[in-house]
Structure 1
Amino acid sequence: MQRRFLGLTAAVAALGMTVSLAGCGSSSGSGDGVTLKLVAADYDVAGGESSKKYWADLTAAFEAENPGIKVDVQIESWNDVDRKVAEMVKAGKAPDIAQIGAYADYAAADKLYSADQMLSIPVQSNFLPPLTDAGEMKRTQYGLPFVASTRLLFYNKELFEDAGISGAPGTWEELAEDAELLKQNTDVDYPFALPLGPEEAQAETMMWLLSGGGGYTDELGRYAIDSQQNIDTFEWLKENLVEEKLTGPVAPGKLNRKDAFAAFTRGDVGMLNGHPSLLQAAEKAGIDVGKVALPGRSGPADTTMGVADWIMGFKQNGHRTEIGKFLDFLFTDENVLEFAGQNDLLPVTVSAQEEMKKDPEHADLKEFLEVLPGSVLPPVGKTSWASASENIKKNIGDAVGPGGSPARTLDRISQDARAAESAE
C-alpha cells in the first residue's frame, strides 16, 4: 500500500534529504568495512526534520555498537520514495534496505531476503500477527512492518450535542439516523463524509466492506470483491446515505480523503472514518473528537482495516548479516516506540504495543491499539493488488453515484482483479 494510506501524502518538505554516515568497503560477512545503503520515507508532513533526526540518532547508536558497519541514509518524500527505489533497482543499484510503501513486486522478482534470513527469532516472532500475515508472499515473510495504523469512526462531539444526539452510533441504522439529525438540526456541510474519490478510495471501500462482513478476499485469499455481502454493503450506502443527501455537497466519488479530513478539522463534518494522525490535527484545531469502533449492520464491526508501511532487505549487495544486525537493532522497543510516538502512529511489535498502552502520554491512542491486533490488512502480498487498488480508486465512486449500480461496478472491478491475479 502507498503511504497515502496512512494519511501522510500531503506536501512534504526537503525532498532528497540525506543523512550520510559514509564508509566504504565490501562485505566480509562479519561487518568489517561495510556500508549499508538505506532509503527511507519522510514522515514529517509539517516540513520539519523529525525523520532526519530519528535516523541520524538511530544510525549513530547502531554504529557505536557495531563499529564494522556504517549506514548511509537517504530520505525521500512519500511522493517520490517508491519511484526512487524502483529506479535504483532497475539500474542495478538497489539499496541494502528500503523503507517504502510496498514490497510484493520485489519479493516476486526474488530480490529480497526473507525475514528468517535476516532477523533473530525473538525479533521475527514479535510482530503483531496480522502484520506478519500481510508481509507474506506464498507463506514466506518478505515485508517487515515498520509502522502501522488502523481506523475508527470519528465524530464531532459539539455537533452531536447541537443535534441532540446523546451517544455514538454502533450500527449502520444508528449512523444514518444520527446523520439525519445532524442534517436537520445543524448547519454542518457533511453529516457523514464518504471519501470515495481517487486519492484513497480503496481504503474507505475496505472499511465499509469489512464492517458489512465482507472484504476484498475470501477465506482462501482469492479476490471476492463482487461477493453478495459487498454488493449489499454498497447498496446500503447508496440508498441510506448518498441518496438521502447525508454525505455532503461533494459527490462521494469526487471527495478525496485529504479534503474530507481538512473539512473535519474545520468543524464541517459530523462523522467520518479516521486514523491517528487526523486525531492529532483535529484536536489541535479545537475539535472535540469522539471515536468508536466502526459501526456494523447489527452492532460494532467485528474487525477494521489495518495499514502498514514496510521495510525490506535487498539481496543485491550480499550484506545479509549486516542488514540483519541493523534490523534487529531497529526493532527494539525503544526505537519502535520513538518513531511511532513522534508520528502518532502505532507500533508494529507486541512488546512495544504493550508498552505504549501503559504510557499515559499515548492515552488517546488506546482505542486504536485495542483494535489493531484483530485488524485486516489489504492484500498487499499480491503483485496484482497495485492494479486492483488503482481500479477501485478510479471506479468505486460510480457504485453510489446517480444511476450507479453497486453490483455492476463491483463485478467489473472483481473481474479485472481476478484476471490480474491469474497472471501472477
Structure 2
Amino acid sequence: MNKGKLALGIAALLLLAAQLGGCIGVQEQDGPPRDAAKRVISFVVPEYSTATKPQFESLVKDFEAIHPDVEIALQVINWDFLDSAYNTMISKNQPPDLLITNVYAHFARDGLLSSMEDIVSPALKSRFYPVLLNNGTMGGVLYALPYVASTREMYYNKDIFDELGIAEPPRTWTELEETARKIKELKREDGFGLDFTDNEIWAYLSYFFIGAGGGWMKDGKWTINSPENVEGLTFLLNLYEKGLTDAEPTVTTRDEKQRILGNGKLGMMISGNYFTAVVPREFPGLKWRLGPIPVKKGIPPFVFGVQDMLMAFKTDHTDKKALSQFLDFLYEDGRYEDVILREGLLPVTRTVGGKLAAQDSSLKQTLDSLQTAKFYPYSVPAWSAVLDATRNMGQSVLLGQLTPQQALDQLQQIAVAKSR
C-alpha cells in the first residue's frame, strides 16, 4: 500500500469512528431517538407467546396510521428477562412511558408512577371489572390498569387417568398424594408437576398456603411464617421427597411442564387458562381435563386469580393526551378480544368478558369465579421484594439446606423489613 492510499485509509477510519461515536452518543441520551414533530410513547410488553410480538407490532402500526403525530416505541421482552430490562431502564432514569408487568406498588410508593386517573378516559375506566381495578389501587389512587387475568386450576392428562381407572381429579391433599403415587407406581410417569422455578414458585406457595388455611397476609399484616403456611410448604417438600413430583421442580418451567404433560410424561399440574389455548395446539391428540386446586381436608375450596397490570411512569416527555388515546385504542373491544383469544387469557373488561361469556358457559363460570378469587397482595409495596426473595428459596428447601420453617421465617423478616 502506498503512502497516499494509507493516508486516505486512515482518514476514512477516523471519519467512521467519529460517526460511530455520534451514534453511541444518541443511544445514551434519555429516552429513545425521536422525531421532534412527533409525540413518542415507549411501550414495554411481556412476551406471552409467539403470537405476542407480531400482534403488538400490527396493533402499533394500525395506531400510528390513525395518529401520524404519535410514534409507539415498542419492545416485546421475554418474561425471563423482563424484570432486569425495565429495572435497568429505571436505574438509568429512562423508564418506559407504559409498562405491562405483574408488580407496581413499590414503583408507586417511590413516586415513579403517574396516577391513571389523569390518563385513562372515564369511558374506558368504567369497562374494567371493579375487583381487578381495585388491585391496581394503592392509598385510594389508581396507579395500574388490569391488562389480562387468569385463574389457576389443576390440569390433568385424562388418558393417564382413564388408563389407571382414576375417575375424578384430586380435591384434597390426601387424594393428591394418592393419585400421584398411583401414576408413579403403575404408569411409571411423574405424578404431580411442582413448579419451584424462579418465575413461578410464589404461585405454588400461594396455592398451598391458602390450601392449608393460611396466606401471605391477614388483617394487613404479613403472616408468611404462620403454622398453616409451614404446613403447606412441608406437604410439598414431602411429595418431592417421596418421588411423587417431577424430578426437577426448580429447573423445568411451567411451560416446559405443560409440554411434558401434553407428551404423556406427567399426570397433573396447576396452571392457568392459557393452558387451554397453548397445549392442545401443540398436542392435538391430548385428552385433558381440569379440576380445583387441592386443599387440606376441612379447608374450603378456593379460586386463585392472577392479573398483569399496565402502568405509566413519570418521564420528562410524558404526554397524557397521547397516552389516553393509545389506551383507548389498546382496549378497544375488537382488538382486545383478539389478544385474549390468541393468548388464552381472561379479559379484564366487562364488555369483552360479557360477549365471550355469552358464547361459552364455562368461561362465564370462570369470569364469575374471578370476582371472588384470592389474589397476590398486589397493592402492598413490599410484595415485590418478597416475590424476589422466593426465587431461590425452592432449591434450598428441596435440598434440605433450609427447613420450611427457616425458609418462611426468612421471608417474613424480609417482608417486615421492607414494610417499614
Q: TM-score range with shorter-chain normalisation?
A: 0.7 to 0.9
In 2 relative to 1, CA 148–96 (structure 1 residues): closer, same or farther, beyond 3 Å?
same
Q: Deviations over 1:65-123 (max 9, x none)?
A: xx7x5232312322555444444444444443333443334322323221212223342
Counterparts of 1:260 and 1:300 in 2: how far apart (Å)? 27
SS of the residue 1:198 aligns to: coil
1:271 equivalent in structure 2: 268
Q: Are the equivalent residues in 1 in contact too, given 2:89–2:96 (CA < 8 A)?
A: yes
Aligned equivalent of 1:261? 258
Task: Show structure 1 runs of 4+ deviating over 6 A.
Answer: none
Tell me, in whole angstroms, the C-alpha distance in 2 between the residues paired with 1:24 and 1:266.
53
Distance change in 2, residues 1:186/1:337 (3 Å): same
- Quickly say closer, same or farther: Cα 1:243–1:83, change in 2 above 3 A: closer
The runs of 5 or more residues in structure 2 that have no matched partner are 1-31
Structure-to-structure mapping, 1:193-204, within 5 angstroms: 193-204=193-204
Superposition deviation, residue 366 in structure 1: 5.7
Residue 247 of structure 2 corresponds to 249
Give the structure 2 partner of residue 342 of structure 1.
342
| Cα displacement (A) at 1:162 | 0.9
Asked which structure has the greater CA Rg, the reply is: 2
1:409 to 395, 407, 410: 407
Deviation at 1:148, TM superposition (A): 1.6
1:2-401 equivalences in 2 (<5 Å): 24-25=36-37, 34-45=39-50, 49-61=54-66, 63=67, 69-78=69-78, 79-188=80-189, 190-220=190-220, 222-239=221-238, 241-250=239-248, 252-253=249-250, 255-284=252-281, 285=283, 286-298=285-297, 302-316=301-315, 317-360=317-360, 368-399=366-397, 401=399
Verify the 8 A CA contact 1:58 1:335 in the aligned structure 2. no
Residue in structure 1 matched with residue 20 of structure 2 by the alignment: none
| CA gap 1:139/1:228 in 2 versus in 1, 3 angstroms | farther
CA contact (8 A) 2:60 2:72 kept: no
CA change 1:219–1:34 in 2 (3 A) is same
Shift of the 254–315 alpha-carbon distance from structure 1 to 2, 3 Å rule, reads closer
Q: Residues 247-297 of structure 1, C-alpha deviation per residue, up to 9 Å, x if partnerless?
A: 1333x4555434422321221111110122233332131321111221222
Match of 1:12 in 2: none
CA 1:208–1:129 in 2, change beyond 3 Å: closer, same or farther?
farther
Q: Distance in 2 between matches of 1:58 and 1:152?
A: 36
Q: TM-score, normalised by structure 2?
A: 0.81
| Partner SS, residue 111 of structure 1 | coil
- Aligned residue for 1:231, secondary structure, equals helix
Cα gap change, 1:82/1:246 in structure 2, threshold over 3 Å: closer, same or farther?
A: closer
| In structure 1, distance between residues paired with 2:210 and 2:270 | 13
* 1:118 to 1:267, Cα distance in 2 relative to 1, 3 A: same
Query: Using the alignment, how far apart are the partners of 2:391 and 2:366 within structure 1?
Result: 25
Residue 367 of structure 1: how far off its partner (Å) = 5.9
- Deviation digits for residues 156-211 of structure 1 (CA, Å, limit 9, x no counterpart): 100001111112222222222222222232122x1111122334211121122222
Distance 1:331 1:49, change over 3 A: closer
Check the 8 A contact 2:213/2:299 in 1, yes or no: no
1:120-161 deviations in Å (ceiling 9; x for gaps): 334224322342232122332211111122211001100001
Distance (whole Å) between structure 2 residues aligned to residue 42 and residue 191 of structure 1: 29
Residue pair 2:154, 2:292 contacting (<8 A) in 1 also: yes
Residues 127 and 350, structure 2, Cα contact 8 Å, conserved in 1: yes
Which runs of 5 or more residues in structure 1 are unaligned?
1-19, 26-32
> Per the alignment, do residues 152 and 108 of structure 1 end up closer, same or farther by CA in structure 2, a change over 3 Å counting?
same
Label 1:87 to 1:231 Cα distance change in 2 as closer, same or farther (>3 A): closer
Is the Cα–Cα contact under 8 Å of residues 130 and 377 in structure 1 kept in the other structure? no
Shift in CA distance, 23/170, structure 1 to aligned 2, threshold 3 Å: same
Distance 1:358 1:71, change over 3 A: farther
Secondary structure at the residue paired with 2:75?
A: strand
Distance 1:371 1:58, change over 3 A: farther
Alpha carbons 1:148, 1:308 under 8 Å: kept? yes
Please say if residues 276 and 368 of structure 1, whose CA atoms lie closer than 8 Å, have aligned partners that are also in contact: no
The residue number in structure 1 matching 2:416 is 418
Residue 38 to residue 245, structure 1, CA distance change in 2 (3 Å): closer
Mapped contact 1:295–1:301 kept (Cα < 8 A): no
Deviations 1:328-373 (A, max 9, x none): 333333232121111111111223222221235xx77566434322
Aligned Cα root-mean-square deviation (Å): 3.0
CA distance in 1, matches of 2:144, 2:52: 28
Is the Cα contact below 8 Å between 1:294 and 1:301 reproduced in 2?
no
Identity across aligned pairs (percent)?
Answer: 25
